[in-house]
Amino acid sequence: MTTVKAYGAINATDPLEQLTIERREVGPHDVLIDIDYAGICHSDIHTIRGEWGPITYPQVVGHEIVGRVAAVGSDVTKHRVGETVGVGCQSSSCRECAQCRQGHDQYCLKGNVQTYDGVDVDGTITQGGYSEKTVIDENFVVTIPESLDRAKAAPLLCAGITLYSPLKHWGAGPGKRVAIVGMGGLGHMGVKIAAALGADVTVLSRGTRKREDALAFGASRYVDTTDAEAMKELAGSFDLIVNTVSAPIDLASYLTLLDVDGALVVVGAPPEPFAVPAFSLIPARRTLAGSTTGGIPEIQEMLDFCAEHGILPETELIEVDDINAAWKRVLDADVRYRFVIDTKTFR
C-alpha cells in the first residue's frame, strides 16, 4: 500500500477537504500513474451528495484523469513509463460477458468497477482522481495522443466519450439534424463532436449567454429554451436530441421536437424521474433512450478522433484550494465549460 494525498468528502454535506488515501501495490498488470490533471464532472457532485443513493465516505471522486505512467507491473505490455495516459469512469470489468467481449465494458453484465465508489477486484472501495497518484489495470488505461494538450484533455475521458458514444451510435453525421440540450461540460463537447462528425447542430440552452460560444463550437443554430415561441417553431425538426441537463426537465416538450423515427437520448442524470406521456412517443414512432460513457476501445477511438479534428474541451485550470468554489460554480451553471484541477497543487 502507498499513501497518497487527495481531496475528498467525509460526508454528503461538508466541503471537500485534504485527506490521504491508500493505493494498492502495483500488480503484474497494473500501471502506477502520477496524476497531473483531473476534470470536475457534475457526476462527482451527484455522487458525493448521495443523490444517486448512499455511498461510502471518505470518498475521493474524479473520473477524468490525465497523468504520466510512473511505473508498470511485470506483465504490462500496453503502456510504458513516461507515457501520457488517461483513465475514465471504468477501471475494471469482468472482461468475459457478451458486452465486455465486444469492448462495451461500460455495459458489463456483471457490473463494471467504477473509478470511484466502486468495489474493486480486491474488495476495497475505489477512490478517484482528485489525488496525486492512482494504480489501474493496464487494460483500463488509455493513451492520450501527443498532439492533444495534456492540460486540457482530461474532460474527454468522461464528458467527451459520454457524447461521442451516443452520437456515433445514433448516426450523427451529414444530413442528420442533432440538438444538444444543456451546454455545460458534456453539452459543449457534444456540440464540438457532432459538428466534427458533420451533423447539423442546434444548441438548446437557457437564456442567451451561451449563444456566441455555441456558434463558435460549431452549432448552426442556438435556441433559448425559455423562449416558448422559438421552441414551438422547432416541433418535429430533429433526428436526434441528446439531453445533457443535470436537473429534471420536461422531457415531453423535447420529445415533440423530434421528427418521425427520431430519438431522444438521456445522458444527464438527475435523481428525479421524468414524466413521459405515451402520446409524446406514439404518434411519430419516437424513441426515448439512455446512454452511458463508452467502452475502452471507443474511448481510444474518441481520443484519436479529437486529435485528428483538433477538438479539445474549453477548460479553466484551478488549484486544489479552489475545488469547493468550483463545485459551487458548476451547480450555478457558471462554468465555461469544464474545471480541471492541477493536482500538482496538492500540499
Question: Which residues 6+ apart lie within 8 Å of 217 measured at CB?
Answer: 188, 191, 192, 195
Answer for the pair 269, 256: CB distance below 8 angstroms, yes or no: no
Indicate which single residue of 31, 135, 245, 263 sits in contact with ligand NAP (rule: CB under 6 A).
245
> What is the x/- site pattern for ligand NAP, positions 208-227, by CB under 6 A?
--x-----------------
Binding site for Zn ion (CB under 5 A): 41, 43, 93-94, 97, 100, 108, 158
Question: 211 to each of 70, 81, 183, how far by Cα in Å?
Answer: 42, 43, 10
| Partner whose binding site includes residue 191, from Zn ion, ligand NAP, none (CB under 5 to 8 Å by kind) | none
- Phi then psi for residue 38, to 5 deg, are -140, 125
Distance CA 60, CA 57 (A): 8
Distance CA 68, CA 81 (A): 7
**Which residues in the 102-161 window bind ligand NAP by CB under 6 A?**
158-159
Question: 69 or 126: whose CB is closer to ligand NAP?
Answer: 126
Cis peptide before 58 (omega within 30 of 0): yes
We find the least distance from the C-beta atom of residue 76 to ligand NAP, in angstroms, to be 28
Q: If we measure between CA atoms, which residue out of 335, 305, 295, 302 comes closest to residue 44?
A: 335
Cis peptide before 337 (omega within 30 of 0): yes
Given the rule CB under 6 A, which of 11-19, 115-123, 137-145, 181-189 is the region that contacts ligand NAP?
181-189
Indicate which single residue of 46, 169, 211, 336 sits in contact with ligand NAP (rule: CB under 6 A).
46
| Partner whose binding site includes residue 292, from Zn ion, ligand NAP, none (CB under 5 to 8 Å by kind) | ligand NAP
We find the least distance from the C-beta atom of residue 289 to ligand NAP, in angstroms, to be 11
| Partner whose binding site includes residue 93, from ligand NAP, Zn ion, none (CB under 5 to 8 Å by kind) | Zn ion
42 binds ligand NAP per the rule CB under 6 A: yes
268 binds ligand NAP per the rule CB under 6 A: yes
323 binds ligand NAP per the rule CB under 6 A: no
Residue 246 pairs with which residues in a beta bridge?
Answer: none
Answer for the pair 117, 47: CB distance below 8 angstroms, yes or no: yes
Answer for the pair 340, 315: CB distance below 8 angstroms, yes or no: yes
Q: Rounded to an integer, what is the distance from CA 345 to the centroid of its chain?
A: 23
Question: 4 or 190: whose CB is closer to ligand NAP?
Answer: 190
Question: 198 or 271: whose CB is closer to ligand NAP?
Answer: 271
Distance CA 120, CA 110 (A): 13
Which residues bind to ligand NAP, rule: CB under 6 A?
41-43, 46, 158-159, 162, 182-187, 205-206, 210, 244-247, 249, 267-270, 292-293, 330, 333, 335
